[in-house]
Structure 1
Amino acid sequence: MNKEPKPDGQPAWAQELAKSPFREPMFTEEMKAGILNRGKFADLQHTRDLGSSWRRRIPVLAAGLCALLLLTAVWGWQALPALRQLVPLTDPGHAYEWTPRTLYKENGVPKLQAFAGGDYAAGAPAGAAWFLMSPIEELEGKHVRITAVHRDSGTILEELAETEITADMAYEGGTDSSFKDATRIVSRFGLPLAGLWKFDLLIDGEKYGDIVFDVPDGSWEPSPSFVTDLSEEEAKTAASKGAHPRSVTGVEGRVAFLGMDFAAGKPNKYMWHFWGPDEELTGDLTFTAVKQHSHEIIDVFQTDIRPSPMYGADAMLPSMMMLPSPGLWRIMASIDGQLFGSVVVEVR
């Protein structure tokens, strides 16, 4: 074998290994172009598959996002009353349902009109007159009932318990011809919360008309203290015992309490004083309370009340009360479901 090196410095056997073992080229330009084209096709197909996959996923993701937003909206609507006040009532029917109005018409004809007492506000009874544009001859012997619902909290109350319509409810209308031959119903009109209230007036269980009032909030200034007016005999008895005049907190001539300041979460005894006619001071007495900036009404104390003149008040009774958190609270006294009066206290 010739082992002489070639002029380029490589032995002959190395040059032989560098040559193709095939007589003809096995990897032609056509084969190369085919492989490249298949690679491009595969990349294009992969891109198309990804696009198709995302197109299939987008509706599912969108549906899930919509469900999440809906759940969030529902929770916010239920948990945050302030949110309900900020969201406009865009639905025409719903907007009308809660539009404040004191006149109800049927087919364009006035059927019911209501007037509330002058400076009415949440937490204080103001009285209201309800004029039914129907003569007493049509309504006498039937029964009227008025219910109310608070838009932002859903609180429902009975403004007027079922009452028989009698001849003395006829209203001649005076000089106002629009009230000629009308029937007048009166109610306490004491609302525990500020905001929109819708009243449904029913005759023998059938809706006669509805009214919407936008009730302003009452004062949140803590109720003042004052000295009760004792009778002459009570004053003599107190003086003989060296007792000082009794200082109570509340609304003079309506409702007040004697006792220590309220401390959050701590029950204490309170002596309540009431002023009013005997018929108002007879029935089931319920104390409820609402905190400032809240629509949640909590139950505080329940008992019954009867006239019991003492220490200048027309009725007195003891109670054990507790408020759960610090801040300003309005304590409301209701007799037979009708708001009698309220006091505002600051809880430590």
Structure 2
Amino acid sequence: MNKPYNIILILVLIMNIVMGVALFKQNSLLIEYKSKINELEVKVEDLDDVVKERIVSGLREISNKDNWNTRNEFTKNRKVILRVMEDPSLRAGKSFGYIFSFSEPFETFNRKELAIYAYHKETGNKITVVPPKIITDPSYGYPSLEHFTATFIIPISGLWRYEVEIDGEFYADVILMVKK
């Protein structure tokens, strides 16, 4: 009678050892999977930042190009980053002055290439109104580019989108009506 119990006890002991080894392996796999999941969560957070910085701003740029409502300021993250003051008597074919008032700190522009292009809604014509130039100094008398002036001629009347680029990338735009 002791013999069958001994065999059963040995079998139970062997099963406990096998189960213990299996649980140990499962635990180590779970720890490894948890580590990999944590790494993926970090990568997803990085991806979220990329989406917010690049994709959302790209979509905003595309959306702005389709929206031709006149506006003399551009808002980013609920803050006006560009305001354009044009001559109230702005007319096609004549030289007029503009003040591009940038509200971001000078470090945003320092040693970067700034260019401004104008796009006509009806014809799609593009003109360079401020050729690409490296910014090395703030506006005279200001700590940033709060008073960036430009004088140029818009050749035909209608709606024009003035697009500011920094280092060849979209920065901001405004839509102005140029009269005949």
Q: TM-score, normalised by structure 1?
A: 0.32
Deviation (angstroms), 1:95:
9.2
Is residue 2:161 matched to residue 1:198?
A: yes
Aligned mates of 1:166, 1:181 — CA distance in 2 = 11
Is residue 2:113 matched to residue 1:150?
A: no
DSSP 3-state at the match of 2:147: strand
Deviation (angstroms), 1:170:
5.6
DSSP 3-state at the match of 2:161: strand
* 1:189 paired residue among 145, 152, 167: 152
Could you say which residue in structure 2 is the equivalent of 1:346? none
Aligned mates of 1:153, 1:121 — CA distance in 2 = 17
Structure 1 residues 182, 146: closer, same or farther in 2, change over 3 A? closer
- Structure with bigger helix share is 2
Q: Which runs of 4+ in 1 moved over 4 A?
A: 93-96
Within 5 Å, give how 1:286-325 maps onto structure 2: none
For structure 1, which runs of at least 5 residues remain unmatched after alignment?
A: 1-92, 173-179, 218-348
Q: Which letter maps to 1:199? A: Y
Structure 1 residues 98, 117: closer, same or farther in 2, change over 3 A? same
Report the number of matched residues: 118
Q: Which letter maps to 1:130? A: F
Aligned mates of 1:162, 1:170 — CA distance in 2 = 19
Aligned mates of 2:168, 2:65 — CA distance in 1 = 25
Within 5 Å, give how 1:219-230 maps onto structure 2: none
Q: Which letter maps to 2:175? A: V
DSSP 3-state at the match of 2:153: coil
DSSP 3-state at the match of 1:115: strand
Aligned mates of 2:132, 2:64 — CA distance in 1 = 28
**Contact 1:170 1:183 (8 Å CA) reproduced:** no
Could you say which residue in structure 1 is the equivalent of 2:101? 131
Deviations 1:64-88 (A, max 9, x none): xxxxxxxxxxxxxxxxxxxxxxxxx
Deviations 1:147-189 (A, max 9, x none): 11101111110011001212242663xxxxxxx7544322223
Highest CA radius of gyration, 1 or 2? 1
* 1:161 paired residue among 126, 131, 135: 131
Is residue 2:79 matched to residue 1:109?
A: yes
Structure 1 residues 171, 130: closer, same or farther in 2, change over 3 A? farther
Structure 1 residues 153, 188: closer, same or farther in 2, change over 3 A? same
For structure 2, which runs of at least 5 residues remain unmatched after alignment?
A: 1-62
Aligned mates of 1:187, 1:107 — CA distance in 2 = 26
Within 5 Å, give how 1:245-256 maps onto structure 2: none
Aligned mates of 1:171, 1:136 — CA distance in 2 = 13
Aligned mates of 1:168, 1:110 — CA distance in 2 = 19
Superposed CA RMSD: 2.2
**Contact 1:114 1:128 (8 Å CA) reproduced:** yes
Within 5 Å, give how 1:19-38 maps onto structure 2: none
Aligned mates of 2:141, 2:67 — CA distance in 1 = 28
DSSP 3-state at the match of 1:137: helix
